[in-house]
Structure 1
Amino acid sequence: MTGPLATRPAFAGQAITRVDGHLKVTGQARYAADNPVPDHLYAVLVGSTVSRATVVAIDTKAATDHPGVVRVLTDFGGVKLPYDIGRVAFFGQPLAVVVADTLEAATHGAAMVSVRYREEPQHTDFHDPAATREPSKAGPEYVRGDADAVLRRAPVVVDRIYTIARNYHNPMEIPATIAAWDGDQLTVWDKVQGIHYSQQAYSEALGIPAEKIRVISPFVGGAFGSAGETWPHQFLAAHAARQLGRPVKLSLTRPQMYAAIGYRPASWQRLALGADLNGEFLATVHETEVEVSRYGGYEESPTEGTKLLYTSPAFRATARIVPLDTSEPTYMRGPGAVTGAFALECAIDELAERLRIDPIDLRLRNEPDHDQSTGTPFSTRRLTDCFRQGADTFGWSRRSPTPRAVRDGDQLIGMGTAAALYHTVRSESSAQARLNADGTAEVFAAASDIGPGTYTSMTQLAADSLGLPMNKIRFSLGDSRFPKAATQYGSQGMASIGSSIKLTADMLRDRAIRTAIIDPGSPLNGFRPQDVDVVDGRMYARAEPRRGETYQDLLRRRGLPSLDAAQTYSPEDVKARYTMHAYGAVFAEVAVDELLGTVRIRRIYAVYDAGRIINPRLAHSQAIGGMTQGIGMALLESAETDYRDGRIVNANLSDYLVPVNADVPALDAAYLEARDDIADPIGVKGLGEVVMVGVPGAIANAVYNATGKRITDLPITIEKLL
């Protein structure tokens, strides 16, 4: 209802359809490679075929002579790369860039480049006992009490080794970059998760000021962390364009992606739990090893969640890295957390069976009232509510504690559960908002949208603050000319960017109100700002609702084309005083063919404590996506390496298996009614990461309940069950 007596609608909290959905489903959304940059050339990488060597010579004559090839670049001078140019650090490392008039000519030309190496001993096997193991800088040793001594005398102990294979992101959109120079000004149409983060990376790699670089990335076709860093192939596209004086488009192939953009590193974990006969945890030991590249700096820390998820008076966490001659790993959905939770939640399930205690009851008996690793209180924590509500909805009471007890023909049926958590991240973020004379509003932030629905949720927040309907607001992102916004990874997008949008839109609304109340020509002249509200673009006095005017009236009368505001959200330093996490309880039911050993997901359900939910439809989409990736990690995904040269032999979607529709029959999730006002002004915690974290553990526990076989190595394949 519009008019003076209308009440302000709350768009935040509504399950609104994506505002950019029509563009995507009709093919009008432009992803990086879709941008129509005129007169551009095509570039194709030539990658190394060994994993450790010195480059002796690169023969480019045949490629250069090929029709359509414009140039073959082998000199990357002037580009700062993370490894030494001239030496091979991993299989697939870019050694040359073939640039041609057509993609076909560039591709064929790349196949004609010949490289001679002086090979050196290489190590690509994470599980090789001879591989070097070093202390991790990301997860230094943490100790409280004497966990090893307590374990030796604990009445009940579970002590297991868990391993997880290397996983790759495999987003729908292959990484691509178009680079164009105008004098000393560089523009890149790119696939990135952090607009200004990438702008700075280009600046450092190419040695030019950041303000001379424009990064454009309005749509990203999936990333899951893979576009969080700016990778060498992106810099080489810009380098090629600078060398040739024409725009250059460089798109990776799917196999090249496996060497070019990082992965979830393979891991080894020892998880030991000691408890008394009542199920009270006495000691926990969590030792981890993860693979890293020799040249890179990325390390995962799977022990972080273990320190605080349950009570344990004695605790020891030790993290080590295994440097290998491989490309650099990187963030992948739930980084570190999903790895550590798999080991912890499986160990708890095994301990529950030995104690003859229900797995949920055992977890509830060890629910902490503060963060034992820091001594700080939780900002909010409702994990017990997640388990109780989830168990009731899922029908946990029907689960038999006896393995192999439930059948459906030849299928063994099992249920499992696991907890999930992910820390709440917030970063400084800025936005700009503008009221136009035609009654519309524009909001700008250099954010990314990798799939969670950023266009929609930010429009919802702006609409609530400005008192405008959503169809009168246009939110623009994906351009480094907009105000600097937080990078979209670590589940920080909504908390950081959303907070900046709210603060900016609030400021603009208040500015319009103040402009009206001091204007003698306004019906609101003389009122106090706090006594004025806005509904449907109309400012009115709460005490006298018929006295008011629209934003449009105000701007027209004052001759203003627009009214602007800009604001920056800077998170308060509450991390030193509170522990902030999102939580979840995941439930899985599986069917395992008794003769064939095939595992099928029957259903997965989860309940999450993720603070305030801005858009339930988008949140549900995030949960389904996270569950699907969790299914892949648990049952399907494994990069297979040829240790002779470091080649990933299944670097394609035919042999690297990911879940398809038949693998995900019934997935559902719910979110608790909650908000975390300690974390940020809009009360959110973040949910993109946590929705994957407990899934592999819940599936593994369900497989045990079905078969009586406890599989501690992911993925759970047929041969491990036969």
Structure 2
Amino acid sequence: MTVVHLQKAVPRVDGPLKVTGQALYAGEFSVPDLAFGFVVNATITKGRLLGLDVSEALAQPGVIEVLSHLNRPKMASYDESYTDMDAADGKPFRPLYNDRILYSGQPIALVVAETFEAARHAAALIRAQYSEEEHATDLAQARDQAHEAPMELPENRGNAPAAWAAAPTRIEAEYHSAAEFHNPMEMHASTVIYHKDGKLTVHDKTQGVQNSAQFVSSIFGLGEGDVKVISPFVGGAFGSGLRPQYQLVLATMAALQLKRSVRVTLTRQQMFTFGYRPETYQQVKLACDSDGKLQAIDHSALGITSRFEDFTEMVLVWSASLYACPNVKLAYQLAALDVYTPLDMRAPGAVLGVYALESAMDELAYAADIDPLELRIRNFTDTDPAKGKPYSSKELLECYRQAAERFGWEQRSMAPRSMRDGNQLVGWGMATGVWEAMQQPATAKAVMNIDGSLVVASATADIGTGTYTVMTQIAAENLGLPLDKVTFKLGDSTLPKAPLEGGSFTVSSVGTAVKLACDQLRQQLLDAAKEMDESPLAKAELEQVVFADGGISLKTDPAQRVDFTAILKASGSPSMETLASAEPAEERDNYATGTHSAVFVEVKVDEDFGSVQVSRVVTAVAAGRILNLKTGENQVAGGIVWGIGMGLQEEGMMDTTEGRWMNHSLAEYHFPVQADVHQLEVIFVEEHDEIVNPLGAKGIGEIGIVGVAPAIANAIFHATGKRVRDLPITLDKVFADELLH
């Protein structure tokens, strides 16, 4: 894989800890007398658990207890209030709550033993008796039983059906996407340390330590301050850690019951027994006039959800806002099946809705005989037509220009099957990417120590995105310190309040709070410096000084300077501390905000074997200020790789007869490996935005994946001359209906 680096950037400050093995993850914290839990999962899809024969398991050496709904400690019912910042609409699942089996793989027991191996062995000896009921897990067969999704959509505008019928050029198509699973490197694990006073310290794999702490307290009726959740390092999550997963409940349950510390780690196979990106069917009808201007967008979506919750995501909002179009109609439905609730996954909703929209835009371009890039340019808008507000910034046209130029788009011939490389058909496709530019309320603390070191803290997370590094940069830049003099603390529920790490809003939210805390500390340091005897800064104001090299100096006379250490000594205190909370400015309400991208893809399709290779990707991203080019490029490149997986490989395969996922392992669930990833080029387009937040940064965790799958699908059409509207586009679909010959 080749990633083009724009310039020198800051390496990860947490990198040395990770590469030397000193970074500890949730399943690696150990304490004396630690017990281990292993989950027993249901082997039916729907029904009741009539009995559990645990006698043989309990007889095994080292086995301490087998917990089930029959002997677990008290926990909140479905109807009692519970805290989960990322909850779906409905009654949340409770592991070991009662005898009802709601989906295949549901946890029905937890074996606790002195060793993990003993617990796993004993779990295999448990015999369950069921009363099985008829189940439904096939989305295609449940389409006529769908209900309206409980989600507010942008208002329909104009009369899309009439405009579509009257337009000279129109297309209509249905697109399908398979369920996808997160599969982070680190499996979900929780180590619950039980203290003599009954309080708990929990090491959890999570994207929100405060969410996990509130969740555990609510579930088990624990008092404020009785639960502390710690998660300094997370080995990937991609959304799987937004909601507390069932191993957290089970580990806490066992610790409270046994009054000792317990760890529960899920196996790779068990990672397929909770949330996933939902399977969808989408119908899109587009129409344009003779000049290629859109006249109608009619977009409907059907998604999968569980029987007990309605999971919704932003599938359709993009069709109402991305392009200028006077007539838009949207409809969103869910089909409730006997499965676990889906879960947010990188760019939730956007990768699905934009896949259908951008595939349809390519189809419309060919129907109108207009270059696909040109069609998008003709329908560009610098206002959000769904909100009627101008964008705070939107350099999408520049994304198109720079990416197309770097890719060589002008050399593309329009006709399908017109470009070759030996026996390989070459296809060039493109798509637009879009994501929100959000900001959530957040709080940060900044502490300047007498030795000149700075400690900044907030209860956010770093799931591999570079949060440690970027927050360190923000603080260091603000106070003029080298990076090695700044420490950023995160992943502790007792730290200042922070939102979940997701939605690409961590930098804009927590980063803004960090900046504000450091701004206040600057003022506090200057005020203290002005009070010093014979201070050279006695009459200076903030705009007249420079913070650099561990001190404060006058702009007009840098020799007039006071070091931070001298300021602290003179104040008589070993440290100075500030606490700052940040939230979106009211000015944002007058604007639409978003990140945008242009994705250009080259594929090579083997004419004999039908294999597809993504040989080249160029992505240009406009996301405001990019604080760290190295971690930024890594984020976008990682998103592109996942987009390749979505387009060509990733597919949760459901055996609808048994109601369970068949390919629940890394051997059978396919995703890109090194040999599948070739030339990737990331371009960050210059974009200034003083409205979105004080940093001018929009976030890039999501935008890298959006648009990649449709660009691949469009490139495959260009290479072969036939549309495949079903993701992933696997070899059998490429060969279908004599696609190649």
Shorter-chain TM range is over 0.9
Shift of 1:88: 0.9
| Comparing 556-565 and 286-295, the one that deviates more | 556-565
Residues in 1 aligned to 2:346 and 2:373: alpha-carbon distance in whole angstroms: 25
1:51 aligned residue: 45
1:79 is aligned, of 75, 86, 93, to: 75
1:111-130 to structure 2, matched below 5 A, reads 111-129=124-142
Change (3 A) 1:599 1:257: same
Secondary structure in structure 2 of the residue aligned to 1:305 = helix
1:9-88 equivalence runs, <5 A: 15-74=9-68, 75-80=71-76, 82-83=92-93, 85-88=98-101
Q: Which residue of 1 aligns with 2:3?
A: none
**Residue number among 235, 241, 255 corresponding to 1:241 in the alignment:** 255
The number of aligned residues is 709
Change in Cα spacing, 1:439 to 1:129, as seen in structure 2 (3 Å) is closer
Whether the aligned pair in 1 keeps the contact of 2:73 and 2:257 (CA below 8 Å) is no
Partner of 1:10: none
CA distance, structure 2, for counterparts of residue 233 and residue 251 of structure 1 = 7
Query: 1:275·1:282 contact (CA, 8 Å) conserved in 2?
Result: yes
Aligned to 1:5: none
Query: Is the contact made by 1:14 and 1:614 (CA closer than 8 Å) also made in structure 2?
Result: no
Task: State yes or no: 1:564 paired with 2:577.
Answer: yes
Report the alpha carbon displacement of residue 573 of structure 1 after superposing the two structures with TM: 3.9
Q: What is the letter of the counterpart of residue 163 of structure 1?
A: H
- Secondary structure of 1:257's aligned partner: helix
Counterpart selection for 1:427 from 436, 440, 453: 440
- Percent identity reads 40
Task: Quote how far apart the aligned CAs of 1:192 are.
Answer: 0.6
Matched residues in 2 for 1:658 and 1:127: separation? 24
Which residue matches 1:668? 681
Residue type at the aligned position of 1:23: L
2:489 counterpart (476, 480, 487): 476
Q: TM-score, normalised by structure 1?
A: 0.96
- Residues in 1 aligned to 2:541 and 2:161: alpha-carbon distance in whole angstroms: 66
Q: 2: distance between equivalents of 1:122 and 1:192?
A: 32
- Superposed, 1:510-521 pairs within 5 Å as 510-521=523-534
Segment drifting more, 132-141 vs 679-688: 132-141
* Match 1:168 to one of 155, 164, 181: 181
Task: Give distance in 2, aligned partners of 1:674 and 1:280.
Answer: 27
* Alignment partner of 1:623 out of 636, 639, 658: 636
* CA root-mean-square deviation: 1.4
Q: Is the 8 A contact 1:139 1:318 kept in 2?
A: no
**What is the identity, as a one-letter code, of the residue corresponding to 1:177?**
S
Q: Does 2:514 align with 1:523?
A: no
Post-superposition offset of 1:651 = 0.1
Task: Point out the more displaced range, 285-294 or 183-192.
Answer: 183-192
- The one-letter amino acid of 2:386's match is S
Correspondence 1:660-699 to 2 at 5 A:
660-699=673-712
The aligned counterpart of 1:7 is: none
Contact 1:600/1:663 (8 A) holds in 2: yes
1:331 equivalenced with 2:344 (yes/no): yes
In structure 2, distance between residues paired with 1:405 and 1:649:
39
Contact 1:62–1:112 (8 Å) recurs in 2: yes
Distance in 2 between the 1:160 and 1:426 partners?
36
CA shift, 1:645, in A, is 2.7
Q: Is the CA contact (8 Å cut-off) linking 2:67 and 2:109 kept in structure 1?
A: yes
Partners of 1:139 and 1:319 within 8 A in 2: no
For 1:227 and 1:550, the matched residues in 2 are separated by 43
Quote the offset at 1:200 in angstroms. Answer: 1.3
CA contact (8 A) 2:150 2:310 kept: no
AA aligned opposite 1:335: P
> Do the aligned partners of residues 473 and 652 (structure 1) sit closer, same or farther apart at CA in structure 2, a change above 3 Å counting?
same
Residue by residue over 1:164-207, the C-alpha shift from the partner in whole angstroms, topping out at 9 and shown as x without a partner, is 00000000001100002222311100111012122111121121
Aligned amino acid, residue 264 of structure 2: L
Partner amino acid, structure 2, of 1:442: V
**2:511 corresponds to:** 498
Counterpart-to-counterpart distance in 1, 2:145 and 2:110: 34
In 2, distance between residues paired with 1:343 and 1:360?
17
Corresponding residue of 2:193: 180
Q: Name the CA distance, whole Å, in 1 between partners of 2:395 and 2:143.
A: 45
Give 1:62's aligned amino acid: E
Query: Offset of 1:150 from its aligned partner?
Result: 1.3
Aligned with 1:447 (options 460, 471, 481): 460
Query: Which of 614, 624, 628 lines up with 1:611 in the alignment?
Result: 624
Contact 2:153-2:316 at 8 Å conserved across structures: no
Structure 1: distance between partners of 2:721 and 2:462: 43
Moved more, 679-688 or 194-203: 194-203
The 3-state SS of whatever aligns with 2:384 is coil
Distance apart, 1:318 and its partner CA:
0.2
Q: Any unmatched runs of 5+ in structure 1?
A: 1-12
Q: Is contact 1:142–1:318 with CA below 8 Å preserved after alignment?
A: no
Report what 2:89 is aligned to. none
In the alignment, the residues of structure 1 paired with residue 556 and residue 252 of structure 2 have an alpha-carbon distance, to the nearest angstrom, of 60
> Contact 1:206–1:235 (CA<8 Å) still a contact in 2?
no
**Offset at 1:488?**
0.5
Q: Deviations over 1:341-386 (max 9, x none)?
A: 1111111111111211111110011112311112111111111110
Partner of 1:147: 160
Q: Deviations over 1:315-348 (max 9, x none)?
A: 1000000111101111000100010111111111
**Partner SS for 1:692:** coil
**Residue from 220, 227, 242 that aligns with 2:241:** 227
Q: Which residue identity does 1:63 align to in structure 2?
A: A
**1:283 corresponds to:** 296
User: Which moves more between the two structures, 35-44 or 629-638?
Assistant: 35-44
Mapped to 2, the partners of 1:248 and 1:297 lie a distance apart of: 32
The answer as to whether partners of 1:139 and 1:301 remain within 8 angstroms in 2 is no
Quote the Cα distance in structure 1 between the aligned partners of 2:27 and 2:317.
Answer: 38
Distance 1:102 1:386, change over 3 A: same
Contact 1:94 1:233 in 2 (8 A): no
Which one-letter code corresponds to 1:661 in the other structure?
Q
**1:263 aligned to 2:276?**
yes
Which of 123, 139, 151 does residue 138 from structure 1 map onto? 151
Aligned to 1:96: 109
The answer for the alignment partner of 2:357 in structure 1 is 344
Query: 1:192 corresponds to which residue?
Result: 206
- The residue number in structure 2 matching 1:4 is none
Secondary structure, aligned partner of 1:691? coil
Preserved contact between residue 517 and residue 529 of structure 1 (Cα < 8 Å): no
SS in structure 1 of the partner of residue 190 of structure 2: strand
Deviation at 1:709, TM superposition (A): 1.4
Q: In the TM superposition, what is the alpha-carbon distance from 1:574 to its structure 2 partner?
A: 4.7
Aligned AA for 1:238?
A: T
Shift of 1:14: 6.4
Corresponding residue of 1:9: none
Shift of 1:644: 2.2
Cα offset for 1:303?
0.4
CA deviation profile, 1:491-510 (whole Å, cap 9, x unmatched): 01010010011000111121
Q: CA deviation at 1:619?
A: 0.6
- CA displacement at 1:301 relative to structure 2: 3.0
Q: Which amino acid aligns with 1:250?
A: V
Q: Is the 8 A contact 2:528 2:571 kept in 1?
A: no
Question: What is the SS of the residue equivalent to 2:228?
Answer: strand
Check 1:521–1:38 CA distance in 2 against 1; reply closer, same or farther (3 A cut). farther
Asked if the contact 1:143–1:317 (Cα under 8 Å) also holds between the matched residues in 2, the reply is: yes
Q: Which amino acid aligns with 1:87?
A: R
| Deviation for aligned residue 1:235 | 1.0
Unaligned runs of 5+ in 2: 1-6, 79-91, 736-741
1:477, 1:232 → 2: CA distance? 23
C-alpha displacement of 1:519: 2.3
